[in-house]
Structure 1
Amino acid sequence: MGFLLCGVLALFTGLPLLLFPRHLPSVEKVDVEDRPVMMTFVTSLKELPIQTRKLFSNFTWLFISLCIISEQSITTGFVVFIAKYFQVSFDLSASMANIITGSVIIPGACTGILAGSLLMRLMRKRNPTLGLAGIAKFLIILSIFPALAVILLLFLGCKKIDLAGITSDYSSGAENALNVIEVKYQKTLRSSCNANCACSQSTYMPVCGFDQKTYYSPCHAGCTQLDIYEDLSGLIVRNYSSCQCIYQDFVHSGDTAFPGKCDNSCYNLVPFLVIVFFIVFLTACGQNASLIITLRSVAPERRSFALGIQNFLSRILALIPAPIYFGRIFDSQCLLRSPGCERDGACLEYDTRRLPFVLFGTCLAIKLVSIVFLAVTYMSCRRDLDKKVPVDDNASSSPGDTTSNVSTQDSASTMTVNTVC
C-alpha cells in the first residue's frame, strides 16, 4: 500500500514537468563568456587530486562543511531516536510516538526552511553588500538559541521507574543503587517472597502493586490469585491478589496488583514538543545560509565538485555513523533486558532519569562544536576580506585625489563582498 501511495504522489509531482517546452533554447545563443565551465570525465578524473587539494585548502569551505556535518549528525540521531524517546519517557505507543514525531519535525523543518529563505532575502535587501562574513555571523547568532533550548530538554526528563529487584529492593521502597546495572537481573528478580513460585522471565508482564512499585510479572510479585470481574461500564477487569512481595506499611496496606506499569507522573510532553519544534525550526532556518556560504566560497567552475565532496563527507561522517553511536548511547541507559539464548535480548526498561542527560547532552556537545566551526568560518571570511580589500597608504597625501581614492577603495570593497566574503 505504501509503494502504491508513493507511486501516485510521484505521478502528480511529475505532471509539472510536462509544462516544459519540447526543445530548450540552444546553448549556441549564449555568449562564450557566460557559458558554464564544463569538466569532462577524463579531465576531471586527471585533475581530481589537484582539485581536491585546492578544495581542502579553502578554509571557508572546509569549516562550513564541518559545521554542516555536525548539524546533520545531530539531525540524524535526533530524528531516528526521538520517537523511541517518546515511547520510553512518556509511555506512548509506537504508532502514537511516530505520529507526534512527524507532526512536530516535518512542519518545523518546512517552515524553518521557508522562514530562513525569506530572512536571507530581507537581509540582502536591507544590506546589498552583505558578504559571507555577515552570513556566518548570522549563523552563529542563530545557532546559540537551539543550544540554549537543548539545555532546557535536559530538565524535562521523567523519574526513573521503580522496578522491584532492579532499581529498588523487594523488601522496602528505598532504591538500591548497587543493583541498577552491575548485578545480573536473573538473580535480582528473585526474592524470598517469590522463591517458591518458579517464575519465568520469558514474558515481560509488568504489574503495578498497591505499594506503587512495578513488578516484572504477577509471579514475581508473589501473586497467587487472579480476580476477574466486570466493572460498572461493562469492561472486564483483571486484578491479582494475595501478592506476597508487595511491601506494606502504615502508608501502603494491600496485597493487590494491577496489570501494567505504575504511572511515573511524567507530564512534560507538551512543553517538550514546543521546545523540539523551536529547535527544528531554528536549525532549518540556517540551511539556506550555509548553502550560500558553500557555493560562494569556491570558484563557479568548482561549485558542483564542492557540493559533491560535501555530500560525500556528510554521508561518511554524519548520516552513516550518527545512528550507530546515538543508538549506542541510547542503549547504554538500559536497566532491564529480555533473556536470550547466548546473550541478553532487547531492552525492556530504560533509566528515564539519566536518559535525557546522556542523549541531549551529546546533542549539545556536537552543537557547541558546530558553533566553533562557524566561528572559524567567520574568521576565515574576515581574513579573505582583509586580503582582497586594497589599502592605499598614499590616499591622504594628495588632497585633490581623496575622493578618487575613496571611491576606488569602496568599489573594490563592494566587489570583494559580492564575490568572495
Structure 2
Amino acid sequence: MGETEKRMETHRVKCLSKVKMFLLALTCAYVSKTLSGSYMNSMLTQIERQFNIPTSLVGFINGSFEIGNLLLIIFVSYFGTKLHRPIMIGVGCVVMGLGCFLISLPHFLMNRYEYESTVSVSSNVSSNSFLCMENGTQTSRPTQDPSECVKEIKSLMWVYVLVGNIIRGMGETPIMPLGISYIEDFSKSENSPLYIGFIETGAIIGPLIGLLLASFCANIYVDTGSVNTDDLTITPTDTRWVGAWWFGFLICAGVNILTAIPFFFLPKTLPKEGLEDNADIIKNDKEEKQSGEVKKEKHGITKDFLPFMKSLSCNSIYMLFILISVLQFNAFANMFSFMPKYLEQQYGKSTSDAIFLIGIYNLPPICIGYIAGGLIMKKFKITVKQAAHIGCWLSVIEYLLYFLCFLATCDNSPVAGITTSYEGIQQDLYVGNKILADCNTDCNCPTKTWDPVCGDNGLSYMSACLAGCETSSGTGLNMVFQNCSCIRTSGNSSAVLGLCDKGHDCSMMLQYFLILSTISSFIYSLAAIPGYMVLLRCIKSEEKSLGVGLHAFCTRIFAGIPAPIYFGALVDSTCLHWGTLKCGKPGACRIYDSTNFRHIYLGLPAALRGSSFIPAFLILILLRKHHLPGENDPSGTELAVMKVTEKEKECKDVHQNSKVSNDEEMKAKL
C-alpha cells in the first residue's frame, strides 16, 4: 500500500513538473523573442544613421519582421497542433537566433562609420580650414566624384538587416499560437488566465532587458575598439552619433538559441492539469486522442481547415475583435517603434537616455498590470461578458488620459537659418530656409553639411563657419570657436560643438510626459488579459489554435507591416534638414519640426484608437444576446470529474444490484 501511494506521489510531481516546465520554458521564450524585438525597435535610429537611409525605409525594415511571420503563421497555427508543438517552438527559437546573427553581420563587412563634419581631427587643426575665411576654399564640400558614390553603395548592406529580420519573424511564428494553445489544452480553465498573465509578464520582462541592453549599446560608439574615441567631435546626443547596435544583436542571438534547448525535451501531450494522478482518466484520454487521430488520418489532415475558417469568419464577435486589434496595433506599433526618436527630437535627449527612460517608466507598470489582470480574473472568476466590460471601460479611461500628453510639449531647437533667423526670431519653417546671412556671406561656407555649434547667445548654428567663427582652440569635444561674427553678444562671441540645450522647462515637460505614459501603460495593461480572454473564449476549443493564428495574421498584414512604413513616411515629411553623403545625395534626417512631429506622433494613434471603440461597443451589445462557445459548458477538468462521478455511480449501482440478487438467491435457498 505504501509503495502504491509513493508511486502515485512521484507520478503526480512528475506530471505537475511537466506543466510547470512548459510554462517556464514558454515564458523564457517570450522573454527572448521580446528581448530581440524591443532591441530591434530601439536600434532603428542607429540603423538609420549607420546606413544613411530615410525613416520610411527604416520602417520597412522594421515591418519585415511581420512579413517573415506572415509567411508561416496560418500554416503553423493549423498544422502545429497536429505536430509536436514544443519541438516546433524550439526550432523557432533557433531560427530567431540565426536571424539576429545575420542582422549584426553588416558591421563586420563594412568599413568604419564616417559622419559628416566640417571639423577634421586627423589633419592639422591649426589650419582652420573649417572656419570662416574670406575668399577661402572649403575642403569639406560634398564631392561629385562617381567613385565615392560607388563606395557608398556599400550602404546597401541594410539588406542583410532586412533579411535577418524576416528570418527572425519566421522563427517567432510558432511561439505564440502553439504555446498559448498548449497551455489552454492542458491547464485548468480557471488557471489559464493566470498562466497567460505570467507569459505576458515574460513578454514585458524581455523588452525591459532589451531596452536596458539597447541603452547600454547606444552609449558605446559603433566602432569602439578600432577608432580613438578621444578624437570624436560628436556625443551621444548628436543626431550623427551611431551606437554599437550590432553588439546587442549578438547577445540576442545567443539568448534565443539557449532558450530553445528545454523544448526539445518536453512531451507532445500532457494530462489535463489536476487529473495527473488518476490513471483511469489518463488512459481514457489517451484512447480518445488516439481514436481522434485515427479519424483525422482517415478524413485527411486538411479537411477541417475550410470549415474552421468558415466558422471563424462567421463569428461576429471574433471578427470584431480582430478589427479592434488591427486598429489598436496600428496605433501602438507606431508609438513604440518611434518613441526613442520622439524623445530625442521633442525633448533633446540622447538615444541612450531615451531608451533607458522608456524601459524604466513604461515597462514595470505594464508588467504589474498583466499580473494583476490575471489574478483578478482568477480570484473573482470573471466571466467572458464581465471581462469584455472590464477591458473596454479601462481602455476608455486610459484613452481619455492620453490626451493630456498633448500638453507636455517643447518648442523647436533654435537653429539659425532653419527654425529661427540669425537675429533669433522664430520664422516660418516651410517658406524656405535662409541658411546664409550678411554675417557669413563672405565665409564661403558649405550650406548642406550638418556640424552644429551652440553660441553664447543660446542660438545654434549649422556649423562653426556659418556662425562666422574665425578662430578655434582645443581639440575634439573640447574645441571652442571664437570671434564669431553671427553671434552678437557683449563677450567674445564664442561657440562650442553640439546643439544648445533645450532648458529646464523642457526637462519638466519630459517628466510630465513620462508620468502620464506610466499611468496609461498600467491602466491599459490591466485591461489586456481580460480582453485576451474574450478572444480565447469566443471561439470553439478545436478552432482555438487556428483562431489565435488568424488573429495574429490579420494584425500583421493590416498593421505590423504597413504601419511603420506609412508612419515613417509621415515622420520624414517633418524633416527640416537632411544629412549629406559624400556624393551629394541626401542621407538620414538631422533635425525635425518638433511641432508637426508631435501632431503626427500623438494625433494619428489617437484617431486610430478612437475609431477602435466603435467595434468594442458593438461586442458589448452582441455579448448580451450571444451564447459563446463553452460559456456554460463545463471545463475539461470538470468534465473529467463528472466522468469519474458517473463511473462511481455505475460501480455503486452494480454493487447494489449484485447485493440484491445475492439476497434473493439466499431467500430462495432458504
Deviations 1:235-274 (A, max 9, x none): 98533222222246xxx77633232212222112322222
Pick aligned residue for 1:193 from 430, 439, 456: 439
Deviations 1:191-243 (A, max 9, x none): 222111111246422122233221101101111122449xxxxx985332222
Structure 2 CA distance for partners of 1:307 and 1:272, relative to 1, 3 Å? same
Task: Report the counterpart of residue 290 of structure 1 in structure 2.
Answer: 531
Q: Does residue 415 of structure 1 match 2:657?
A: no
Task: Report the counterpart of residue 346 of structure 1 in structure 2.
Answer: 588
**CA apart distance, 1:52:** 2.2
Q: Does residue 173 of structure 1 match 2:424?
A: yes
Whole-angstrom CA distance in 1 between matches of 2:546 and 2:407: 44
Pick aligned residue for 1:151 from 391, 399, 403: 403
| Residue pair 1:139, 1:374 contacting (<8 A) in 2 also | no
Task: Report the counterpart of residue 357 of structure 1 in structure 2.
Answer: 599
Whole-angstrom CA distance in 1 between matches of 2:312 and 2:413: 52
**Which residue type is aligned with residue 493 of structure 2?**
D
Task: Report the counterpart of residue 496 of structure 2 in structure 1.
Answer: 258
Q: Does residue 222 of structure 1 match 2:439?
A: no
Whole-angstrom CA distance in 2 between matches of 1:9 and 1:106: 21
Q: Does residue 246 of structure 1 match 2:487?
A: yes
SS in 1 for 2:555: helix
**CA apart distance, 1:17:** 7.9
Q: Does residue 324 of structure 1 match 2:324?
A: no
Pick aligned residue for 2:459 from 213, 220, 231: 213
SS in 2 for 1:30: helix
**Which residue type is aligned with residue 310 of structure 2?**
R
TM-score for both structures, normalised by structure 1: 0.77
| Poorly superposed stretches of 4+, deviation over 4 Å | 12-18, 20-28, 31-44, 340-343
Structure 2 CA distance for partners of 1:100 and 1:338, relative to 1, 3 Å? same
| Residue pair 1:37, 1:301 contacting (<8 A) in 2 also | no
Task: Report the counterpart of residue 29 of structure 1 in structure 2.
Answer: 284
**Which residue type is aligned with residue 557 of structure 2?**
I
User: May I ask how many residue pairs the two structures share in their alignment?
Assistant: 373
| Residue pair 1:227, 1:238 contacting (<8 A) in 2 also | yes
Gaps of at least 5 residues in structure 1 are 230-234, 389-413
TM-score for both structures, normalised by structure 2: 0.50
Structure 2 CA distance for partners of 1:164 and 1:304, relative to 1, 3 Å? same
Q: By percentage of residues, which structure has more helix?
A: 2
**CA apart distance, 1:377:** 1.2
SS in 2 for 1:199: coil
Pick aligned residue for 1:378 from 617, 620, 623: 620
Q: Does residue 71 of structure 1 match 2:312?
A: no
Deviations 1:383-418 (A, max 9, x none): 325x99xxxxxxxxxxxxxxxxxxxxxxxxx93899
**Which residue type is aligned with residue 293 of structure 1?**
V
Gaps of at least 5 residues in structure 2 are 1-246, 272-278, 636-670
Whole-angstrom CA distance in 2 between matches of 1:247 and 1:417: 81
Task: Report the counterpart of residue 309 of structure 1 in structure 2.
Answer: 550
**Which residue type is aligned with residue 254 of structure 2?**
G
| Residue pair 1:135, 1:289 contacting (<8 A) in 2 also | yes
**CA apart distance, 1:182:** 4.4
Structure 2 CA distance for partners of 1:363 and 1:417, relative to 1, 3 Å? farther
Deviations 1:259-290 (A, max 9, x none): 22122221123222222222222222233222
Structure 2 CA distance for partners of 1:122 and 1:22, relative to 1, 3 Å? closer
Task: Report the counterpart of residue 138 of structure 1 in structure 2.
Answer: 390
Q: Does residue 7 of structure 1 match 2:258?
A: no
| Residue pair 1:153, 1:272 contacting (<8 A) in 2 also | yes
Structure 2 CA distance for partners of 1:372 and 1:417, relative to 1, 3 Å? farther
**Which residue type is aligned with residue 53 of structure 1?**
K
Structure 2 CA distance for partners of 1:41 and 1:262, relative to 1, 3 Å? farther
Structure 2 CA distance for partners of 1:327 and 1:81, relative to 1, 3 Å? same
How high is the sequence identity, in percent, across the aligned residues?
26
| Residue pair 1:36, 1:301 contacting (<8 A) in 2 also | no
